[in-house]
Amino acid sequence: MSLKIKILAMGKPKMSYLAEGISDYLQRMQHYARVALVEIREPAKPQKMDDEKVMRLEAEKFFPHLKNTDYIVALDRAGERLDSVALADFLQNCMNHNRNPVVFIIGGELGLDKTLLKRADRVLSLSDLTFTHDMTRLILTEQLYRAFSILAGQKYHK
């Protein structure tokens, strides 16, 4: 049984080279899993809205895309850190236990609201470094591709 992965991300990448890289990795992964990227339209934000309210508005945009059967992985700077082999093991475990689909959530520039973090089955961090949410998309898609190549015994991961 093929794993289904959905990546929910706030907004569209602003840099075309990031969009091209993301598209490339999404296409490469189709050999291993059914992967879909869903770009959530950013909510209209009044200029003087505080960060908590902005994150809450963004969370409300994510929730309609989540089902009770989804295995949700929120990306957050305070999340658990995995190396590439551990991410591959995680994906293998999802396949073994029929966790379909696995839904990765990438928040906007402020991160994810606590309601989304509480709803998540797992919270991961991609690094101790801070990345833009657009760059996070590229890094996540590359790491997912790397994980699948590890599972397939390909030479991409050295």
HSE of 6 in the Cβ direction (CA atoms, 13 Å)? 17
Looking at residues 144-157, what average pLDDT do you find? 92
**Which of 30, 52, 71 minimizes the C-alpha distance to 115?**
52
What pLDDT digit, counting tens, does each position of 36-79 carry?
999 999 888 777 889 999 999 999 999 999 999 999 999 999 99
What pLDDT digit, counting tens, does each position of 10-42 carry?
998 889 999 999 999 999 999 999 999 999 998
Q: What is the average pLDDT score of the chain?
A: 94
Query: What local confidence, expressed as pLDDT, does residue 1 receive?
Result: 52
Query: What local confidence, expressed as pLDDT, does residue 45 receive?
Result: 75
What domains are defined for the chain? 3-151 (3.40.1280.10)
Does the pTM surpass 0.75? The reply is yes
